[in-house]
Structure 1
Amino acid sequence: EGNQQLERLSRSSADLWNSICKWYWRTVDRQDQWLSKTAMRRWHCKGHDVLPSQTAQEVAEQFYEAVGSWHDNDRKGNPPKRSDKTYNVLRWTYQGVTLRDDGVLRLSTKRGDDSILIDWPAREEPRTVEIGKTSGGFVVRAQYDTEPVDRTTGNKVAGIDLGEKHLAAVFTGGDAFTVNGGELRALRHYQNSLKAKLNAKIDRKERGSNRWNKLVETKQEQLDHIDNKITDLLHKLSRKTVEMLLERGVSAVAIGDVRGIRDRIDYGKKMNQRLHQWAYGEFARMIEYKAKLAGITVERVDEAYTSQECP
């Protein structure tokens, strides 16, 4: 019964994302103006018929985060668009999260609906909770407020160069090490081949038929499973990178900022695909916040056009 409720909410979240996306770009096309997040929330999220108000507003937050990232990248690449995903992530902020005395986490829902209850292993109440659909069911992620703890033991400065073959090449002055991206490339290769294989099967079925719907759902579940593996791998590698920096007495790092490189360079179809799936942005963000939590100062350094001279 709990899973059925989450499925209903997650499907509604996906529908709301698509509705927000449709009317956002329709307003841009027809009125030549960017619709504000406040106006969008008031228009589409307030009084939502399925999602609790805070969770509906967080769907708009997700969309505008994606729009902001696209603007930060000088509107290069693909802007956020309507998705064919059946499910979307559900997010509760601290207003809708309560940790009861009996160790059960309560997530608020619409009035008249049963609250979502989860046996919670931690004693502290999380600030935000996300629930996402995967091939194995639903996965819960929680975020806690964490104060940085200075773990640095030296004053060395390190430079981190992000790459496709090696996720990171790190130079600390008298020492250097690399973080291999081979496992990530293998996962991406498997993801691409699986996607092509399933797309070929889907194309042979009548659109909207039971078999077509089943294949589309199977495709999404399998691709989500690989995405989760990739995210887990990036967390492990970024954590390893920060630990190696601490071991070498590093207290400040400069990370090469290569945003936009994929739009400036054309290496051919195969290499372009690898560059467009290069996880530099996510990996850099993971290193940055993990390093800051450990007391390491982080600065982004523009690397525009340098890879054309030294690929």
Structure 2
Amino acid sequence: MYLTRKFHIEGTEQLRRLSRSSADLWNSICKWYWRTVDRQDHWISKTAMRRWHCKGHDVLPSQTAQEVAGQFYEAIGSWHDNDRKGNPPKRCDKTYNVLRWTYQGVTLREDGVLRLSTKRGEDSILIDWPVDEEPRTVEIGKASDGFVVRAQYDREPVDRTTGDKVAGVDLGEKHLAAVFTGDDAFTINGGELRALRHYQNSLKAKLDAKIDRKERGSNRWKKLVETKRKQLDRIDNKITDLLHKLSRKVVEMLLERRVSAVGIGDVRGIRDRMGYGKRMNQRLH
């Protein structure tokens, strides 16, 4: 299995320059991709875009430049997979962008330092690495207080189960999960998640009302749409983080009770069968 290690490092002028260059490349790819679509009704392939914009890049090593194109086409692919709903990746005003290296550009030295390849004639990027395994991919992104490193590496899975108990889990709205192990039971409170969901829905309704009062396509309309996207993305990130922490808490509590298998109630299609009124439906959704 793969594990991801995340940690902060101090910013250097070299990292800032490479990150800005990565953003410039993203902006250029994004601009010419949509310009070609609008003017020629032609969707440029990733291979052609890499050949056009990434090959022989002035600042970024070839592999890292190609990964910028890969990031853009991953976003395009996700938009297509979602039946082109929502906003496609059209931003061409990035200041910093993520730098990505695959295993070909990553070397783990004997002294526990990662060496990331750069252009010929430039100093390699050196990062202290706290794990014995060499990472398969390394990403470095800009943060307010420096840069954030995310590195993915192989790790053999560890079986932590010590018993043969089976637990049943019932998903709910007030109690996010009600768990019965046969010997005892416990619940996971869903109040914080419910509050975030409620705030998300009310904020969306409030911003939608403001957007509807503006002329579509005007500067004010565009600013409100961007504000809505940023604020809802921020809440989505909080919800994802909370769900991850709560699910991990459930797993840890089950391991303490020597549980090796879990059965979860099937709630698929429940939205189609609900009709308890507007407020109650929103809570249960």
Is structure 2 residue 149 aligned with structure 1 residue 144? no
Task: Give the residue type in structure 2 aligned to 1:182.
Answer: E
Partner of 2:213: none
Seen in structure 2, the aligned counterparts of structure 1 residues 304 and 90 have a Cα distance that, compared at 3 Å, is farther
Is structure 2 residue 130 aligned with structure 1 residue 112? no
The alpha-carbon deviation at position 89 of structure 1 amounts to 1.2
Please point out which of 132, 140, 154 is paired with 1:131: 140
Please point out which of 65, 79, 102 is paired with 1:56: 65
The alpha-carbon deviation at position 157 of structure 1 amounts to 7.8
SS in 1 for 2:97: coil
The alpha-carbon deviation at position 119 of structure 1 amounts to 2.0
Structure 2: distance between partners of 1:182 and 1:253: 22
Task: Give the residue type in structure 1 aligned to 2:25.
Answer: L
Number of matched residues? 236
Is structure 2 residue 40 aligned with structure 1 residue 27? no
Please point out which of 46, 50, 56 is paired with 1:41: 50
Seen in structure 2, the aligned counterparts of structure 1 residues 25 and 93 have a Cα distance that, compared at 3 Å, is same
TM-score by length of 1: 0.60
Structure 1: distance between partners of 2:172 and 2:48: 39
Contact kept? 1:160, 1:171, Cα under 8 Å: yes
Contact kept? 2:11, 2:147, Cα under 8 Å: no
Partner of 2:102: 93
Please point out which of 183, 186, 192 is paired with 1:182: 192
The alpha-carbon deviation at position 34 of structure 1 amounts to 2.9
Task: Give the residue type in structure 1 aligned to 2:34.
Answer: W
Task: Give the residue type in structure 2 aligned to 1:123.
Answer: D
TM-score by length of 2: 0.64
Seen in structure 2, the aligned counterparts of structure 1 residues 182 and 137 have a Cα distance that, compared at 3 Å, is same
Contact kept? 2:27, 2:94, Cα under 8 Å: no
Task: Give the residue type in structure 2 aligned to 1:180.
Answer: G
Structure 2: distance between partners of 1:26 and 1:155: 59
Larger relative contact order (Cα-Cα within 8 Å, sequence gap ≥ 6): 2
Task: Give the residue type in structure 1 aligned to 2:76.
Answer: V
Question: Please, what is the CA RMSD of the aligned residues?
Answer: 4.2
Gaps of 5+ in 1: 197-219, 257-300
Gaps of 5+ in 2: 1-9, 208-229
Seen in structure 2, the aligned counterparts of structure 1 residues 179 and 4 have a Cα distance that, compared at 3 Å, is farther
Matched residues, percent identical? 70
